[in-house]
């Protein structure tokens, strides 16, 4: 947990620095080395980059003393990383997975048209300003359906669309042909909806089709659709309402429920309090005790209860009451709490980015980027060779156990090229065999997907080469993450876990450095606290003599918090308000009610191991780390380049 949090903070700082410097170009100067570890050099450029990006609060930070201190720290860091690499910590699947996750994020600011996501966010926000009223007809087809079934569904929806365009009634056609079960009730009507409420291809068709028109055929994960758009209007935002409900249903008397709701309505008109009537009569268990208040909702959210949505948006002023009305769940009276207009783009940006990232429209961004990169990087495919390769697919591919049949001159036959780099048939076949997984797709279709994945991955690799060549800071950024993950891995193994788990070593270290652990007068105490007054006199005997179960019950029942340890008088404000003597003492401070159980008062002097242990563990970690670094210095040659050292001193001191 600690490792994850610290690494996350480390990475955030690096990202901010890296993006700010992303426009730097590759230097034409001949690189100088500051030092090397095991013959692996650290250049002056890398050192200056690392040193300069750290927050520097004063001029002293660029003094020779501070720079040389950092040089020692960086040498030690590289020694640890070298040892981690020697142990193969960077070859594990866990390491590769973690590094690749970070790498995926790090490369985004450097990709061309990385602003496509921002464009999608803006487009989505513009659509949120508008609501569309539409109906649809659906012919179902599964995403992995056989070509014959897909063609059959397409022909069906195509014939229906021709009938609509010829003037036949859309509602009647939806009732008779739509495979959306709700069409039997609503004749295909979806009412009003806005962006992010429908799957993206469907939403796109709704917003790009003019009022009164029928959309082209739309393919979604559910099948083929056609839409008829009836209206578009400015968004109404959200409403927050409260309601009182009397349930109806098979085992309820509808007439009795109706009479009850009208009686409640009369009481409200006569001035009786809403909250009291709601608590007494409402049969909505989730809201009756909170005045019937519901979460704010927008258009389309209550699509399954259209009467409720219509009444909610028809109320105009906070406090307005609706007449009694009926839904499929019962009879209601509604009160408007507030109307909430659409927030600004700035306020919604973070939320929209998250939603867009999980939405199908993200694929639009990725596809557009891939199309641009394919063009910019001069992708050239041999379509004849590609067809022959895809024909190698067989049923074993669906099981994830495919072994490619022999292909003539596979290692020499070019499948595609990116700029001047050629990729052979054998390159792809090896990739396909290593990445295949069981799939429900047709074998040839699945192999085509693997081919596209391989091309896209190869393009990103090529783009990364260009990015690294033009942006040295990006290379340093990747290296920081790579080595930072390794550092945490090996520090856990060699220092942190050892120091916290080696109780014998802790005691030995404490005994050898006992004089370092001194303290002034303090108490060993347990401090209990609560936000409301507590009958401490009744609880004291339980804490002193009760069983663990009784103590826990008293603490839980009274919502008591507690902490235990060694404290000096000025460590806790409450300690200055009670007698400095053994025993239980209660007091209040700033609205918090305390019981401090001072178990013993300790004079100034040596700490016990128990008291000093947190500090001992920290010091023992430092001791282990220092000893380990000395071993690494004997194991791996460290060479300081005097010319490179003087270079960084001159540059940084300026």
Model confidence pLDDT, tens digit, residues 439-483: 988 899 999 999 999 999 999 889 888 888 888 888 899 999 999
DSSP letters for 31-56 = P-EEEEETTEEEEHHHHHHHHHHS--
Q: Is the pLDDT of residue 521 over 90?
A: yes
- Structure token pair of residue 249: 């249903």
CATH topology of domain 518-604: Chitinase A; domain 3 (3.10.50)
d(CA 589, CA 577): 8
Helices 93-106/2-20 angle, 10° precision: 30
Cα 197 from Cα 194, distance rounded (Å): 6
**Above 50 in pLDDT, residue 525?**
yes
Task: Give the pLDDT confidence of 254-275 residue by residue, as tens digits.
Answer: 899 999 999 999 999 999 999 9
Measure the CA–CA gap between 450 and 457, rounded to whole angstroms.
10
- State both tokens at 206: 């709704």
Q: In what order do the strands lie in the sheet with 325-327?
A: 297-298, 238-247, 330-340, 325-327
What CATH architecture applies to the domain 238-340?
Roll (3.10)
Read off the DSSP letter of residue 27: P
In whole angstroms, what is the distance from residue 420 CA to residue 295 CA? 59
- For the stretch 11-58, pLDDT in tens is 433 333 333 333 344 445 567 999 999 999 999 999 998 998 765 556
3-class SS at 571? helix
pLDDT value for 2? 38
At 223-238, the pLDDT tens digits run 999 999 999 999 999 9
Mean pLDDT of the chain: 89
pLDDT of residue 72: 95
| CATH code linked to domain 130-234 | 3.10.50.40
pLDDT value for 108: 76
What SS3 state is found at 59?
helix
* Per-residue pLDDT, 302: 87
Distance (Å, rounded) from C-alpha 235 to C-alpha 254? 36
Q: Mean pLDDT across the stretch 416-435?
A: 94
pLDDT of residue 343: 92
By C-alpha distance, which of 333, 258, 340 is closest to 292? 333
Kindly report the pTM of this predicted structure: 0.58
State residue 318 phi and psi, 5-degree precision. Answer: -50, 135
Residue limits of CATH 3.10.50.40 in the chain: 130-234, 238-340
Residue that wins the pLDDT comparison between 22 and 358: 358
Q: Is residue 50 within 8 Å of residue 74, measured between CB atoms?
A: yes
What is the spatial distance between Cα 225 and Cα 136, in angstroms, rounded to a whole number? 7
Secondary structure element (H or E) that encloses residue 476, with its range: helix 472-491
508 has pLDDT over 80: yes
| Residue 29: DSSP 8-state | S
The token pair at 258 is: 């109706």
- The alpha carbon of 453 is separated from its chain's Cα centroid by a whole number of angstroms, namely 24
pLDDT digits (tens, 9 = 90+) for 159-189: 999 999 999 999 999 999 999 999 998 999 9
Q: Which residue has the higher pLDDT, 435 or 112?
A: 435
Residue 7 pLDDT class (50, 70, 90 cuts): very low
User: 298: which strand partners?
Assistant: 238
Sign of CA dihedral 295, 298, 299, 301: negative
Q: In terms of Cα–Cα distance, which of 523, 520, 518 is closest to 576? A: 523
Q: In this model, does residue 538 exceed pLDDT 50?
A: yes
The upper half-sphere exposure of residue 408, i.e. CA atoms within 13 Å in the direction of its Cβ, equals 2
Among 141-155, 357-371, 480-494, whose mean pLDDT is lowest?
Answer: 357-371
Percentage of the chain lying above the pLDDT 90 cut: 74
């Amino acid at each position: 947990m600690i490792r994850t949090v610290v690494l996350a903070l480390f990475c955030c700082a690096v990202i901010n620095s890296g993006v700010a410097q992303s426009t730097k170009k590759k230097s034409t100067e001949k690189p100088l080395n500051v030092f090397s570890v095991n013959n692996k050099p650290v250049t002056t450029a890398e050192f200056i980059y690392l040193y300069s990006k750290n927050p520097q609060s004063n001029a002293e930070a660029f003094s020779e003393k501070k720079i040389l201190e950092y040089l020692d720290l960086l040498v030690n860091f590289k020694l640890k990383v070298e040892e981690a690499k020697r142990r193969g910590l960077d070859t594990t699947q866990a390491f590769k997975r973690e590094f690749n996750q970070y790498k995926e994020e790090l490369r985004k600011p450097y990709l061309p048209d990385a602003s496509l996501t921002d464009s999608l966010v803006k487009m989505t926000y513009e659509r949120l300003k508008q609501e569309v009223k539409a109906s649809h007809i659906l012919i179902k087809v599964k995403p992995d359906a056989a070509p014959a079934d897909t063609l059959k569904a397409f022909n069906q929806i195509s014939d229906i669309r021709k009938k609509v365009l010829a003037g036949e009634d859309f509602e009647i056609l939806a009732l008779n042909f739509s495979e959306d079960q709700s069409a039997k009730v609503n004749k295909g009507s979806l009412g009003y909806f806005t962006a992010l409420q429908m799957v993206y291809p469907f939403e796109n068709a709704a917003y790009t089709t003019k009022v009164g028109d029928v959309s082209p055929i739309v393919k979604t994960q559910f099948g083929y659709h056609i839409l008829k758009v009836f209206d578009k209007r400015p968004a109404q935002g959200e409403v927050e309402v409260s309601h009182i409900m009397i349930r109806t249903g098979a085992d309820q008397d509808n007439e009795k429920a109706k009479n009850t709701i009208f009686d409640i309505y009369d009481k409200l008109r006569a001035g009786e309090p809403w909250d009291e009537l709601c608590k007494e009569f409402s049969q909505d268990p989730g809201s009756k005790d909170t005045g019937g208040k519901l979460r704010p909702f927008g258009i389309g959210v209550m699509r399954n209860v259209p009467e409720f949505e219509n009444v909610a948006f028809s109320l105009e002023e906070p406090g307005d009451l609706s007449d009694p009305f009926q839904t499929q769940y019962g009879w209601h009276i509604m009160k408007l709490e507030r109307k909430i207009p659409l927030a600004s783009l700035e306020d919604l940006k973070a939320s929209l980015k998250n939603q867009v990232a999980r939405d199908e429209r993200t694929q639009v961004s990725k596809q557009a980027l891939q199309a641009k990169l394919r063009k910019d990087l001069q992708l050239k495919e041999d379509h004849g060779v590609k067809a022959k390769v895809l024909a190698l697919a067989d049923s074993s591919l669906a099981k994830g156990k495919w072994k490619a049949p022999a292909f003539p001159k596979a290692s020499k036959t070019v499948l595609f090229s990116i700029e001047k780099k050629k990729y052979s048939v054998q390159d792809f076949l090896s990739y396909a065999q290593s990445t295949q997984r069981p799939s429900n797709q047709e074998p040839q279709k699945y192999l085509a997907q693997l081919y596209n994945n391989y091309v896209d991955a190869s393009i990103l690799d090529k783009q990364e080469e260009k990015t690294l060549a033009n942006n040295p800071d990006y290379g340093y950024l990747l290296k920081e993450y790579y080595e930072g993950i390794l550092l945490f891995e090996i520090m856990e193994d060699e220092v942190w876990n050892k120091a916290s788990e080696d109780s014998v070593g802790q005691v030995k270290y404490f005994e050898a450095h006992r004089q370092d652990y001194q303290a002034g007068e303090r108490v060993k105490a347990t401090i209990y606290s609560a936000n409301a007054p507590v009958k401490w006199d009744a609880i004291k005997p339980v804490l002193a003599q009760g069983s663990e179960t009784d103590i826990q019950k008293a603490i839980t029942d009274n919502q008591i918090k507690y902490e235990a340890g060694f404290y000096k008088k000025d460590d806790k404000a409450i300690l200055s308000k009670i007698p400095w003597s053994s025993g239980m003492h209660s007091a209040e401070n700033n609205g918090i009610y305390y019981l401090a159980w001072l178990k013993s008062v300790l004079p100034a002097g040596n700490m016990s191991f128990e008291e000093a242990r947190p500090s001992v563990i920290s010091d023992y970690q430092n001791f282990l780390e220092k000893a380990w670094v000395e071993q690494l210095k004997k194991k791996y040659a460290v060479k300081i380049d005097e010319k490179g050292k003087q270079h960084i001193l001159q540059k940084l001191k300026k």
